[in-house]
Amino acid sequence: MSETREIEAAIYERLSRVIDPELGRSVTDLGMIAAINAVPAAQDADGDYDVTVHVELTVEGCPLSETITNQINGAVASYPDAKLTPHIEVSSMSRDKLDDLVADLKAERKQNPFNKPGVKTRIFAIASGKGGVGKSSVTANLAATFAALGYDTAAIDADIYGFSLPRLFGVHTQPTNLNGMLMPVTAWGVKLISIGMFAGADRAILWRGPRLQRSLEQFLSDVWWGQPDVLLLDLAPGTGDMAISVAQALPNAELVVVTTPQPSASDIAVRSGLVALQVPMKVRGVVENMSYYEHKGEKLRIFGEGGGQRVSEQLTEALGYDVPLMTQLPLVPEVRETGEAGRPAVLDADGALRADGIGKTFRSLAEQLMA
């Protein structure tokens, strides 16, 4: 009997290292391990035990149930001193138990988790002066790059009227709702939330400023993000309500301005950076998109040239600190093609970061931002 209890205690300790992929906490901390029972497999089977682990998932039909049970199987199988045969019995939490869990998580978070003292999340708000410069594409590929480099990465589609991150990441599901607390959808290693994931988002969205601000507050405080290393926000074009709301809610955010080479885009892009004169945000740098199209070794400047450098110089002068031109991205049809197919172009079909071309460029950009 004492050996049986020792095995059960050792298995519980191993299960404490199994992390729920959505909540970022161990399955034991979350109360998902209801019981562990170890019994000898047979009288003549010295050291052989059947181990049954009773698992209670947070919601019935959890899409990550297979991932969690596979990790639990692996934890049980790693027990070194006896031959164990694991059996996993899966059910879902009772309503009362789930209510208590959600209440504890909400009490722990209480409010916008990214403004708490000691939070180490790096926050980058991707902005542009006008639409059509590839801001969302830059956000998607940069987020995928961070995730591929091993950073715990989250992204918020803060462009409520023109959301596009769900399509760029191939997301067609809604966030899981745990009694009013939402689990972000994970795609290509990135935790995502967007108004485009909810029912009715295919219709025109007619919201005034206060409701836009409330949507951002909900994305920050009503979604369980865990403690990501990086948070990206895909802002709406211009300097409207959402840009101001981000500055108020996330004063530690750093602005990255996206432009294209032509003056009609770069002159407007400067305005989005000048927001930093009125709100407590730092402009980290400038990204020039669609800088050139390479044809037979020749770089064709289809949209002119110099826009990114003009934005960099004007913001550096106006803000009083260096706002560098961080990278110049080429016009590559593959970025559009793979993006519309639901995979960021920086990743190969297996989800690994490409070692050349666009993958190498975005890796350099990500490393600059995290430096």
Q: Is 133 annotated as a binding residue?
A: yes
Chain CA centroid to CA 209, Å: 25
DSSP H helical segments within 84-208, as ranges? Answer: 95-109, 135-148, 165-168
Which residues are within 8 A (CB) of 283 and not within 5 positions of it... i.e. 6 or more apart? 254, 255, 256, 257, 273, 276, 315, 319, 323
**Residue 164 marked in a binding site:** no
| pLDDT at site 337 | 83
Sites in the chain below the pLDDT cut of 70: 1, 42-47, 61-63, 81-83, 106-113, 115-117, 199-215, 238-244, 247
Is 39 annotated as belonging to a binding site?
no
pLDDT at 207: 46
Please state the φ and ψ torsions of residue 184, each to the nearest 5 degrees.
-65, 150
Establish whether 135 is an annotated binding residue.
Answer: yes
Alpha carbon separation from 86 to 22, 29, 54, 234, 347 (Å, rounded): 24, 21, 11, 45, 36
CATH number, domain 3-108:
3.30.300.130
pLDDT, residue 43, reads: 55
Is 97 among the annotated ligand-binding positions?
no
Q: How are the residues of the chain apportioned to helix, strand and coil, as percentages rounded to the nearest 5?
A: 35, 25, 40
pTM: 0.73
CATH number 3.30.70.3270 given to 122-370: no
Looking at residue 111, its pLDDT comes to 61
Q: Where are the domains of the chain?
A: 3-108, 122-370
pLDDT score, position 191: 92
pLDDT of residue 312: 93
Is 136 one of the annotated binding-site residues?
A: yes
The kind and range of the H/E element at 223 are: none
Distance of alpha carbon 165 from alpha carbon 296, whole angstroms = 32
